[in-house]
Amino acid sequence: MESNKFETNAIRNQLQRSQFQEHSVPMYLTSSFVFDDAEDMRASFTEEKVRNIYSRFTNPNTSEFIEKVVGMEGAEDGYAFATGMAAVFSTFAALLESGDHVVSARSVFGSTHTLFTKYLPKWQITTSYFDINKPDEIEALITENTKILYVESPTNPGVDIIDLEYLGKLAKKHKLLFVVDNCFATPYIQQPMKWGADLVIHSATKLMDGQGRVLGGAVVGKSDLVREIYLFARNTGPAMSPFNAWVLSKSLETLAVRLERHCENALKLAEYLEKHPKIAHVKYPFLKSHPQYDTAKRQMKLGGNILAIQVQGGLEAGRNFLNAIQMCSLSANLGDTRTIVTHPASTTHSKLAPEEQFSAGITPGLVRISVGLEHIDDIISDIDQALNK
């Protein structure tokens, strides 16, 4: 029975049963696959036959995982990576040539920024940054060498939002590849291909796993682009492990219900903190006070699970707040069942110079909260006691 429902496909799109008639898909922990004869082997290598050859290329578990993501994002094809950063780097490495230029929002994940500023320049690939809150300035940065327009929305860690429809049209006008890191939203909340994205990238380590267990990444999108990325990955080896794919495919079965609660908790916490005397500022996409609230409402089904807050008193107050936390975790991850509190300026984005941090919206007192699935009363009470210490 065909369904167009996200929840049903997340559960029912699975590998064909084996002769054992298992209900839950087994793990295919095998590095390679066997051939019937020399002709079968030859035809498989020339791709006259579509089949699994070697798990660096494809594996039943990674295929199941990526096909779910492809369906959720409304994409044509995809490839599963060992980590989100492997997905980001492989996309650039496969699609960019020496001399190409990227236009990107300045507010991107710290390691993506390091790729743009330290590694891509090794191959004469340059990047121009724009302020995520000034989309009008993008067009002036586009040159005849610009190949990719790159954004995250919501951004990490500032939860800024950019109008994806506007960017999709701009990319089309200038014949750019529009690439969106959709990690903070997940396809349950937002599908960038609807707005004209050519490729969508995920760190599956975050909300897709949702339980802080495994690393993973994905790129999905137009099949000709995915083909290039696949060939790069097949030859360079950043493939997702079948074990991680098995875990992640199971996690996707519960993505919708988890996201509903994550976002409900995050909105309640945001509303609570907005009125808190010890908080200077709260940023959350579905708070009316968010500068891009209207855009967020248009392109996102829910507000996500990340809040950016400024504690009254700046850096010192922010550090004291972190030190007083009791239940929530101080950890570098996000999108876990456990609520996580981080200080981006001294951790995930510490490689950025102070002025780069500032222009990416990372002030010294900024605290990022990844709201988990504990009872909201307990989350609020831990944060409240830490603010009042």
The answer to whether 215 contacts ligand PLP (rule: CB under 6 A) is yes
Judged by beta carbon, residue 44 or residue 241, the one nearer ligand PLP is: 241
Site for ligand PLP in 102-121 (CB under 6 A): 109
Residue with smaller CB distance to ligand PLP, 203 or 265: 203
Q: What is the nearest approach in angstroms of ligand PLP to the Cβ of residue 104? A: 12
User: Is 83 a binder of ligand PLP (CB under 6 A)?
Assistant: yes
Residue at token pair 């990444």: 217
Q: What angle do CA 248, 250, 251 make, to 5 degrees?
A: 60
From residue 194 to residue 213, the character string flagging contacts with ligand PLP as x (rule: CB under 6 A) and all else as - is ---------x-x--------
Cis ω on the peptide bond leading into residue 26 (within 30° of 0)? no
CB 228 within 8 A of CB 198: no
Closest residue to ligand PLP using C-beta atoms: 84
Distance between CA atoms of residues 218 and 90, nearest Å = 10
Residue span binding ligand PLP (CB under 6 A) among the ranges 78-86, 276-284, 298-306, 310-318? 78-86
Residue showing tokens 């996201």: 259
Using CB under 6 A as the binding rule, the residues of this chain from 144 to 163 that contact ligand PLP are 152, 156
Residue 211 burial by Cβ neighbours in a 10 Å radius (0-12, 13-18, 19+): middle
CB of 8 to ligand PLP, least distance (A): 27
Q: How far is the CB of 202 from ligand PLP (least distance, A)?
A: 8
Complex with ligand PLP: residue 215 or 279, whichever CB lies closer: 215
Q: Which residues pair with 149 in a beta bridge?
A: 103, 178
Q: State which amino acid sits at residue 70.
A: V
CA 128/CA 149 separation, integer angstroms:
10
Question: Three-state DSSP class for 280?
Answer: strand
Q: How crowded is residue 217: how many other Cβ atoms within 10 Å of its Cβ?
A: 27
Stretch that binds ligand PLP, among 10-18, 36-44, 83-91, 135-143 (CB under 6 A): 83-91
- 142 versus 178: smaller Cβ distance to ligand PLP: 178
Which residue among 80, 85, 282, 352 contacts ligand PLP (CB under 6 A)? 85
CA distance 26 to 59: 12
Nearest to ligand PLP of 85, 252 (CB atom): 85
Whether 296 contacts 263, CB under 8 Å: no
C-alpha to C-alpha distances, 189 to 9, 93, 172, 239, 358, nearest whole angstrom: 15, 28, 24, 26, 28
Burial class (CB in 10 A: 0-12, 13-18, 19+), 199: buried
State the minimum distance, in angstroms, from the CB of residue 154 to ligand PLP: 9
Query: In whole angstroms, how close is the CB of 151 to ligand PLP at the nearest point?
Result: 10
Tell me: does residue 44 bind ligand PLP (CB under 6 A).
no
**182 is an interface residue for ligand PLP by CB under 6 A:** no
> Which residues lie below 8 Å from residue 8, measured CB to CB, with a gap of 6+?
none
- Kindly state whether residue 84 participates in binding ligand PLP, applying the rule CB under 6 A: yes
Nearer to ligand PLP, 44 or 127 (CB): 127
**Size of the residue set binding ligand PLP (CB under 6 A):** 14
User: Minimum Å distance from CB 360 to ligand PLP?
Assistant: 12
Residues 326-365 that bind ligand PLP (CB under 6 A): none
Cα–Cα distance, 18 to 13 (Å, whole number): 15
**Interaction mask 298-327, ligand PLP, x per CB under 6 A:** ------------------------------
Contact 72, 193 (CB under 8 A): no
Distance CA 259, CA 261 (A): 5
User: Looking at beta carbons only, is 142 or 252 nearer to ligand PLP?
Assistant: 252
Could you identify the residue written with the tokens 């980001």?
88
Residue numbers of the site for ligand PLP (CB under 6 A)? 83-85, 88, 109, 152, 156, 181, 183-184, 203, 205, 215, 217
